[in-house]
Amino acid sequence: MGHKSDGQTGAGPNPTTADRVSDRELVITRMVDAPPAAVYAAWSRAELFRKWWVPQSLPMKLLSCEMDVRTGGAYRLEFGHPDFDQPMAFFGTYLDVEPGKRMVWTNAESEEGAVTTVTFADKGGKTLLTISNLFPSKDACDAEIASGATAAMDETLAQLDALLAAAGTPLAG
């Protein structure tokens, strides 16, 4: 437990940290050089969210994204993967939404799915983003860590270069 990772081998301007804070909770942190209202918009507006949730370095593609971001609202994401014929669906409900401050949602596609809490803390016009995934059990948390490792193996340095190049592309519309 308590494993922490704050390496800066990623491409971003600010480091991303990952920490297993307990048997069943994984926490990601990242500073974003923009106010909470802007960062929150990127998480709560489907047309923005779908531009970044699946990095271009990953083989899967986001096919559809429906989000009713309010307490009690539902979301549904569908992904395509070259290895699978059928799309994979991820869905759940928002347990709590405080615009610009906090979002809490379930991951109901799995019985062992985590509850995700994202907080947007104002740090003098910048945003400290904290993403917590709280699992129902230690085993479920272990499984998530293992699947994260699998996804990361698909990423190569060349693909990261492609991501960097794509990041300079202006948004459409």
Partner 1 sequence: MVQYESPSLDASFAALADPTRRGVLEQLGRADTSITDLAARFGMSLTGIKKHVSVLEQAGFVATQKVGRVRTCRLGARRLAEEAAWIEAYRHTWAARLDALDAVVQNMINEENERGTQI
What CA–CA distance (Å, rounded) separates 69 from 128? 21
The answer to whether 110 and 134 have CB atoms below 8 angstroms apart is no
Of 25, 44, 48, 66, the residue at the interface with partner 1 (CB under 8 A) is 48
What CA–CA distance (Å, rounded) separates 137 from 79? 26
Among residues 17 and 107, whose Cβ is nearest to partner 1?
17
What CA–CA distance (Å, rounded) separates 63 from 100? 26
Of 10, 59, 72, 73, the residue at the interface with partner 1 (CB under 8 A) is 10
How far CA 129 is from CA of 15, 33, 97, 155, in Å, comes to: 12, 10, 15, 23
67 is an interface residue for partner 1 by CB under 8 A: no
18 is an interface residue for partner 1 by CB under 8 A: yes
143 is an interface residue for partner 1 by CB under 8 A: no
What CA–CA distance (Å, rounded) separates 110 from 107? 7
Q: Rg of the chain's alpha carbons, rounded to an integer?
A: 16
Helices (H), 74-137: none
Among residues 15 and 87, whose Cβ is nearest to partner 1?
15
Query: Site residues for partner 1, window 77-136 (CB under 8 A)?
Result: 129, 131
Q: How many residues does the chain have?
A: 173
153 is an interface residue for partner 1 by CB under 8 A: yes
Q: Which residues contact 64 (CB under 8 A, 6 or more apart)?
A: 76, 77, 78
23 is an interface residue for partner 1 by CB under 8 A: yes
Of 82, 85, 149, 158, the residue at the interface with partner 1 (CB under 8 A) is 149
Of 24, 32, 62, 75, the residue at the interface with partner 1 (CB under 8 A) is 32
Binding residues for partner 1, rule: CB under 8 A, are: 1, 3-7, 9-20, 23, 26, 28, 30, 32-35, 37-39, 41-43, 48, 51-58, 129, 131, 138, 144-146, 148-149, 151-153, 155, 160, 163-164, 166-168, 170-171
